Chain A
Amino acid sequence: NREEPRTRPHCGITHARNPHAVSTMSPAGCPHVSGFKVDNWKQNLRVIYQCFVWSGSAETRKRKAKSCICHMCGAHLNRLHSCLYCVFFACFAKKHIHEHAKSKRHNLAIDLLYGGIYCFVCQDYIYDKDMEQIAKEEQRKAWKMQGVGVLQTHTHTHTQTHTKYSTWEPTKRELELLRHNPKRRRITSNCTIGLRGLINLGNTCFMNCIVQALTHTPLLRDFFLSDRHKCEMQSNSCLVCEMSQLFQEFYSGHRSPHIPFRLLHLVWTHARHLAGYEQQDAHEFLIAALDVLHRHCKDDNGKKANNPNHCNCIIDQIFTGGLQSDVTCQVCHGVSTTIDPFWDISLDLPGSSTPFWPLSPGGDGSALNGESHTTGATTLTDCLRRFTRPEHLGSSAKIKCSGCHSYQESTKQLTMKKLPIVACFHLKRFEHSAKLRRKITTYVSFPLELDMTPFMASSKESRMNGQYQQTVDPFNNDNKYSLFAVVNHQGTLESGHYTTFIRQHKDQWFKCDDAIITKASIKDVLDSEGYLLFYHKQFLEYE
C-alpha cells in the first residue's frame, strides 16, 4: 500500500520535446524504464494494478472510487494516469500528468483505464515484456474475482472458472512455423477452397456422398483443420486420423479429384457389413461412420469414449441429440418418460406401407418454416409432425403401467428433448418389408431454414389434439436451423447413384457427383427429391 512518496534514482534526462525520441517499439520497452525496475518494483507495480487499475475486490473498488481523481483539477475522467514514481493522480487530457512528470522528473505513468505504461521521454506508450506480464496476470485475477467472462468447466477437477475471451497470440513455436510456411490462403467470397471431387472406386458413391456432407460440416471442419485430434491408437487404423487427412486433402487447394482408397479400406475393416463392391445405403454408411469415429475419439480427458452418456468427443458434441419418449397410460394418465440419444431422425413417407397420418395441407408448422404447398406436396414439417404425433398403441400392445399395476392401453409420443448442432433427417425412401422391396419417390418439399420449436418436448404442452397453436417467439433462436447439405439418390433400388448438394459460403451451392463438382442453384437443391437432409444450428451457445 503506497502511502508516502518514495525516493527513486532519477534517469536524469530532460523532458524537452524531442521529435526524434520516438523509435520502433520492441518488447524490451524503452531504455527509460531501467530507472524504475529496481528493488521491489514488481510487487509495487502489482499493487498499483490491483488497487487503481483493475480493482477486483470490494475493498479496492471503494478505494479506487474515492482516490482516483486528478490531484490538480479533481476530474475523474479525462484519461486519468498515475505516476509510477510517487502517489500522484492526474488527468492526461488536460496535460496535468505531463506537468507533474516535468516538474518532478518522474518519467513514467500508468493509464488507469487500460493499464498502459506511458514514457514522457519517448512521448508514447511503451510495451515492456516484464511489465506486460504483470499487467496480464493482474487483469486475469480481477476478472476472476468479478466473475467476468464465459464460464468454463474443467472436466478433470470438476471446477468452474470464468475465463474471458482474449485474442490469440502465437507461441514461439507457432511463429517459427508461420515463418517457415509463408504461403497464405485468402478466403474470398468466390474461392472454391474445400471443394474437391472423389473418385468412384466401384459403386462407392454411397461413401463419397457422405464424405462431401461431412467435409462441409462447419464445426467438424474447424475441429480437424485446427488439429484437435490427438491420436492414442497404436495401429494405423484410426478412422479419425484418416478423416483428419481427408480434411487436409479437401482444403489443400488441389483441384484434381481425391482417391479415397485408404478411407474405403478402413471402412471395410471397421464396418464389415459395408464391405464389398456392391452398392450400399448411404444412410447406413453415415451411421456406421459416425459410430466408428465416435469409438475412435477420446474425450477431453483422454479417457476412452465408451460411456455413451458421458462422451465429450467431437461427434457427440456435434451430432448427438436427445429423443424423448412419453408413454401415457390411458387409464390413470400417468406418464413414463425415457430419453434416448440419436444421430439422425428417420421419417416415414406417404406411400409407404406404414399408415401415413392424413394431415391437412398447411397448418401452423409449415407456415412457420415457409414451405410451399402450391402443389399440395408433403413437406418435411408434415413428416416431423407425423413423427411427433401421439400414437395409440392399441389393445394388442398394452404396456405395464406402474401406476395402475396392470397392463393398460396407452399412447406413445416422441418429441425432441435436446437438439443436436447438426440435425440429419433421413427420408425413408427404401422399403424392405416382407412383401416388397421398392423405392418411394414421393417428392417431399424441405425448407432452407427450419425452426424445430413445434417439435420440442417443451412445446408439447401447447399442442392440443394435433392442432398446433404455437405463439412464435421471434427472439428465441435456439431451435433455428439452416440447410447445408442434401444427399440424393437417383435410380431404383437395384441400381442407383448418390450425389450431394453442399453449401459453400452463405448462398452458394455445389453439386458433388463423385469426381465432378458443378455449381448449382438454390432451386436445384430445393427441387431435388431429398434422401438425407443436413441442417446446422444457426446460433451456437457456450455451455
Chain B
Amino acid sequence: MSKDSRMRATINQKLTEMGERERLKELLRAKLTECGWKDQMKAHCKEVIKEKGLEHVTVEDLVVEITPKGRALVPDSVKKELLQRIRAFLAQHAT
C-alpha cells in the first residue's frame, strides 16, 4: 500500500471509530438531496432501466452507468464543505 492510501486508511479508521463517518454521510445525503443531485441520479437510473429493460437490468449495470455521471455532478460547494468538515475534525483530534 502506498503512503497515500495508508494515510487514507488511517483517516477513515479514525472517522469510523468516532462515528464522524456516519455524521458526514448524513450531511452529504442532505446536501445532495437539497441541490437536486439525488433527483438527477434517480432520473438517470430510470433511463438506464428503460434502456436495458426491467427484467434484465442488474444493480451492477446501474452502478457502472451512473457512477461517472454522479461523481461529475457533485457541486463544488458540497465538496468544499465536506473537506472543511473533515479538516476541522482531524485538527480537533490530531494525535
Does chain A have a CB within 8 A of B19? yes
Determine the distance from Cα of A113 to Cα of B78 in the docked complex, in whole angstroms.
21
Task: Give the contacting residue for B5; candidates A22, A24, A75; CB below 8 A.
Answer: A75
> Contact at B9–A124, with CB atoms within 8 Å?
no
> Contact at A69–B22, with CB atoms within 8 Å?
no
The smallest C-beta distance from A264 to any residue of chain B, in angstroms, reads: 45
> Contact at A148–B55, with CB atoms within 8 Å?
no
Q: Which of A5-13, A57-65, A217-225, A367-375 forms part of the interface with chain B? A: A57-65
Known: A58-B19, A124-B60. A65 touches B13 (CB 8 A): yes
Does chain A have a CB within 8 A of B56? yes
> Contact at B17–A65, with CB atoms within 8 Å?
yes
Does chain B have a CB within 8 A of A146? yes
> Contact at A61–B9, with CB atoms within 8 Å?
no
Within 8 A of A (CB), among B1-37: 1, 5, 8-9, 12-14, 16-19, 22-23, 26
| Residues in chain B near residue A441, CB distance under 8 A | none
> Contact at A76–B55, with CB atoms within 8 Å?
no
| Residues in chain A near residue B16, CB distance under 8 A | 55, 61, 64-65, 68
> Contact at A24–B55, with CB atoms within 8 Å?
yes
Does chain A have a CB within 8 A of B59? yes
The smallest C-beta distance from B81 to any residue of chain A, in angstroms, reads: 15
> Contact at B12–A76, with CB atoms within 8 Å?
yes
Determine the distance from Cα of A62 to Cα of B14 in the docked complex, in whole angstroms.
9
> Contact at B9–A74, with CB atoms within 8 Å?
yes
For A69, the closest partner residue in chain B by CB is: B9
Within 8 A of B (CB), among A18-63: 22, 24, 55, 58, 61-62
Does chain A have a CB within 8 A of B84? no
Determine the distance from Cα of A386 to Cα of B73 in the docked complex, in whole angstroms.
51
| Residues in chain A near residue B17, CB distance under 8 A | 58, 61-62, 65
| Residues in chain B near residue A116, CB distance under 8 A | 59
Interface membership of chain B positions 56-76, coded 1 if the CB is closer than 8 angstroms to chain A and 0 otherwise:
101110000000000000000
The smallest C-beta distance from B93 to any residue of chain A, in angstroms, reads: 13
| Residues in chain B near residue A148, CB distance under 8 A | 22, 26
Interface membership of chain B positions 27-59, coded 1 if the CB is closer than 8 angstroms to chain A and 0 otherwise:
000000000000000000000000000011011
Does chain B have a CB within 8 A of A435? no
Interface membership of chain A positions 51-94, coded 1 if the CB is closer than 8 angstroms to chain B and 0 otherwise:
00001001001101110110000111100000000000000000
| Residues in chain A near residue B23, CB distance under 8 A | 146
| Residues in chain A near residue B5, CB distance under 8 A | 74-75
The smallest C-beta distance from A31 to any residue of chain B, in angstroms, reads: 17
Determine the distance from Cα of A68 to Cα of B16 in the docked complex, in whole angstroms.
10
> Contact at B14–A65, with CB atoms within 8 Å?
yes
> Contact at B59–A125, with CB atoms within 8 Å?
yes
Interface membership of chain A positions 257-291, coded 1 if the CB is closer than 8 angstroms to chain B and 0 otherwise:
00000000000000000000000000000000000
The smallest C-beta distance from A190 to any residue of chain B, in angstroms, reads: 22
Determine the distance from Cα of A111 to Cα of B79 in the docked complex, in whole angstroms.
25
Determine the distance from Cα of A64 to Cα of B8 in the docked complex, in whole angstroms.
16
For B15, the closest partner residue in chain A by CB is: A65
Determine the distance from Cα of A65 to Cα of B17 in the docked complex, in whole angstroms.
6
Determine the distance from Cα of A75 to Cα of B9 in the docked complex, in whole angstroms.
8
* Shortest 9 CB-CB contacts between residues of A and residues of B: A65-B16, A124-B58, A65-B13, A65-B17, A125-B59, A62-B17, A76-B12, A74-B1, A76-B9
Q: 10 interchain pairs (CB within 8 A)?
A: A61-B17, A62-B17, A65-B13, A65-B14, A65-B17, A66-B13, A74-B1, A76-B9, A124-B59, A146-B22
Q: Name 17 extra pairs, CB < 8 A, besides A123-B60, A125-B59.
A: A61-B17, A61-B18, A64-B16, A65-B12, A65-B16, A69-B9, A74-B9, A75-B5, A76-B9, A76-B12, A76-B13, A77-B8, A77-B12, A125-B58, A146-B19, A146-B22, A146-B23
By a beta-carbon cutoff of 8 Å, the part of chain A in contact with chain B is 22, 24, 55, 58, 61-62, 64-66, 68-69, 74-77, 116, 123-125, 146, 148
